Amino acid sequence: MNPTHPESLLHDVAALPPLPGVYRYFDASDQVLYVGKAINLKKRVSSYFQKNHGGTRIGHMVSKIVRLETTVVRSEAEALLLENNLIKTLNPKYNILFRDDKSYPYLKLSGRAEISKTPAPVSISTSPQPAEFSRVSYYRGAVEKKHRYYGPYPSAWAVKEAIVLMQKIFRLRTCEDAVFANRSRPCLLYQIKRCTAPCVGHINAANYAQDVANAEKFLQGEVQGVLKDLETRMLAHADRLEFELAAELRNQIAALSNVLHQQAMDNVSDRDVDILAVKVQGGKACVNLAMVRGGRHLGDRPYFPVHLEDASVLGQAEDAEQAIAIEAQVLEAFIAQHYLQVPLPSVLVVSEPVSKDLLAALMQQTGQKVSAVFQPREQRRAWLDMAQTNAALQLARLLAEEGSQQARTRALVDALDLTLEATPDNLDALRIECFDISHTSGEATQASCVVFQHHAMQSSEYRRFKIEGITPGDDYAAMRQVLTRRYSKTDPAKMPDLVLVDGGKGQVSMAADVFTSLGLDLSRIVGVEKGDGRKVGLEELVFADGREKVYLGADSAALMLVAQIRDEAHRFAITGMRAQRAKVRVGGGQLEDISGVGPKRRAKLLQRFGGVRGVAQASVQDIAGVDGISRELAEEIYRALH
């Protein structure tokens, strides 16, 4: 073993058991370098320290290891699940990592409809209740058993398109319960034949429930059953000489048939399928996930992993006998990480072979059977070809955008003659922080700080600062306060390479005073001064270290990058200021101060009553009618607002 490693580390490696488990490597600053799994911990971990990896990437990683942790599990399947949970939690540098995306949207049908087996005559109800008539809506979040959910869908657009179909074919309501309860006449959707107006009793609960049931069958892919049911009901109405009702069903059948002609639903045996295609190029990768639900192709979504270059080399060197192609590594990493939290369909159509151990682990976790189809035929082949084309297009777009952004970064470094700790060929390390002040006549003053690094805006590192204790409208004092708060406790070694402030000589002088008092380098400060007539492209750069102002030119790639960062800081400051101002004027903070009213309940209250004033005007009974609000909590909310 390598004698340069700590003796305690080598002792821990020698003492490992020959059992399945998960291992973690840490560097001197206790950052996680790599998370891996093994059937035999002793054999796998020892291989890292017994071989001479030289100056390779894996050698670079191994040289940093000062400590390891291991967890013994009962099987390789358990090891795989634990490994990917830890990868998502710890974000190790040398693992292929798919960052968490927003949760998937669903189509929601409220309540539980009861279906009458025989058609009920149309009767006008004098007081229809919202709970009797299921509502179709867009939904994102945790599911509740009292409602029905269909999906997930790859995008919000796909859900909204499905809702439009529900309106066109089955004429289901989309209005909020509060709107439903207060209607006295049908809305425009009834006039354009997109709703049957249950709110004013133009359809009874039994017949509406039949439409809901057919909508559910359609979403589940049972289209022929829906058509047969509609034809049976149409003929029954015709036999009873109810020709207007028969005509309504005829139109419904025509609308459904039209949808079938427009959408690919050739293989009715495939109800729920995920299609996964991988493309690797230029040190980047894309996994394109296409979704088929109820036999309908709903669309796709691209995913781009990080740490690909380091992780791919490490994965090959880790076990040469069982080395797999980088595309297969990326695909297996995606499947293992993605389906930890997302519902798993019974069939995966894949562009690369997937290991049986991975499928076994997924089945163990979900309790359902799943199969991976490699080299598919017929309709599945067509779906996979489409996914592969989209993966190639999305990756080409990413590489083009990154190439353009890298050129801008290089242009800015050259234009400002920046001295980087990183080599010129490694501009990823360049970090820029930009500050902006926003307020309305001094009200609700906010400062924003946005971050640019790795050739992209890093939204997770954005910060807002609430500015207090200054004369309203004093932007200089606001800038002094935010810079002092931001950098007074910052390690000089972790300072950004460039600090942009939105303003000219005055703001730059204020920033220079702060940096001087903190003992920081003035050459890092650059002001973005608006040009003649405040026109875009005429901005000049002002330096805190005494250099002359610089005009880069309207076509300068460096100025484009500066303007992009400055505009993002301005946008971020404006949105924060508006939210704060609304909170001050409307009293939005009152709900936040009530015990038991968290973000979800607050959102439901504001949505139901249209704002804090509406909540304040509501009775205890009205407040208690909101989902998730008990009578006791409603009384507490009422007391707090009065």
Q: What is the CA radius of gyration of the chain?
A: 30
Closest by CA position to 330, among listed 364, 366, 298, 302: 302
What's the rounded Cα separation, in Å, for the pair 437 and 435?
A: 7
3-state secondary structure of 81: helix
Q: Using 50, 70 and 90 to split pLDDT, how confident is the model at 641?
A: confident
- CA–centroid distance for 626 within its chain: 28
The whole-number average pLDDT for the span 606-630 is 80
pLDDT tens by residue, 352-385: 999 888 888 888 877 788 899 999 988 889 899 9
* More confidently predicted of 237 and 199: 199
Q: State the distance between the two ends of the chain, measured CA to CA, in whole angstroms.
A: 73
Q: What percent of the chain has pLDDT over 90?
A: 16
pLDDT at 49: 82
- What domains can you pick out in the chain, each with its CATH number? 7-90 (3.40.1440.10), 106-262 (no CATH), 273-396 (3.30.420), 427-582 (3.30.420.340), 587-641 (1.10.150.20)
| Cut 0.85: pTM above it | no
Q: Is the pLDDT of residue 114 over 60?
A: no
615: left (phi over 0), alpha (psi -120 to 50) or beta: alpha
* More confidently predicted of 611 and 146: 146
Q: Is the pLDDT of residue 452 over 90?
A: yes
Cβ neighbours, 10 Å, residue 609: 18
Give kind and range of the element (H or E) at residue 585.
helix 557-586
pLDDT tens by residue, 389-429: 999 999 888 888 878 888 888 888 888 877 655 444 557 77
Total length of the chain? 642
HEC string of 397-428 equals HHHHHHHHHHHHHHHHHHHHCCCCCCCCCCHH
pLDDT at 331: 92
pLDDT tens by residue, 36-57: 888 889 888 888 887 776 656 6
What's the rounded Cα separation, in Å, for the pair 553 and 15?
A: 64
pLDDT tens by residue, 348-359: 999 999 988 888
pLDDT at 156: 84
pLDDT at 54: 63
The whole-number average pLDDT for the span 201-227 is 83
On whether the CB atoms of residues 202 and 241 are closer than 8 A, the answer is no
pLDDT at 318: 46
What's the rounded Cα separation, in Å, for the pair 414 and 408?
A: 10
What's the rounded Cα separation, in Å, for the pair 298 and 272?
A: 11
Q: Is the pLDDT of residue 456 over 50?
A: yes
Q: Using 50, 70 and 90 to split pLDDT, how confident is the model at 260?
A: low
The whole-number average pLDDT for the span 71-99 is 83
pLDDT at 591: 73
Rounded to a whole number, what is the largest CA-CA distance in the chain? 95
Chain-wide mean pLDDT for the chain?
A: 81
The whole-number average pLDDT for the span 607-633 is 81
What's the rounded Cα separation, in Å, for the pair 565 and 561?
A: 6
Q: Using 50, 70 and 90 to split pLDDT, how confident is the model at 3?
A: low
In DSSP terms, 61 is beta-bridged to: none
| Cα dihedral value 124, 125, 130, 134, nearest 10 | -50
pLDDT at 513: 93
pLDDT at 267: 43
Contacts by 11-20, CB closer than 8 A, 24 or more apart: 12/68, 13/45, 13/46, 13/49, 13/68, 14/46, 16/41, 16/42, 16/45, 16/46, 16/70, 17/41, 17/42, 17/72, 18/42, 18/43, 19/72, 20/72, 20/73, 20/74, 20/75, 20/76, 20/78, 20/79
On whether the CB atoms of residues 524 and 499 are closer than 8 A, the answer is yes
On whether the CB atoms of residues 179 and 137 are closer than 8 A, the answer is no
What's the rounded Cα separation, in Å, for the pair 295 and 224?
A: 12
On whether the CB atoms of residues 304 and 285 are closer than 8 A, the answer is yes
On whether the CB atoms of residues 124 and 85 are closer than 8 A, the answer is no
CA distances (Å), origin 97, targets 32, 275, 334, 342, 498 = 13, 20, 8, 16, 29
Closest by CA position to 501, among listed 456, 430, 575, 566: 566
Q: Which of 139-143, 285-289, 526-530 has the lowest mean pLDDT?
A: 139-143
3-state secondary structure of 497: coil
Query: Which range has highest mean pLDDT (138-142, 274-278, 438-442, 470-474)?
Result: 274-278
Cβ neighbours, 10 Å, residue 134: 26
3-state secondary structure of 104: coil
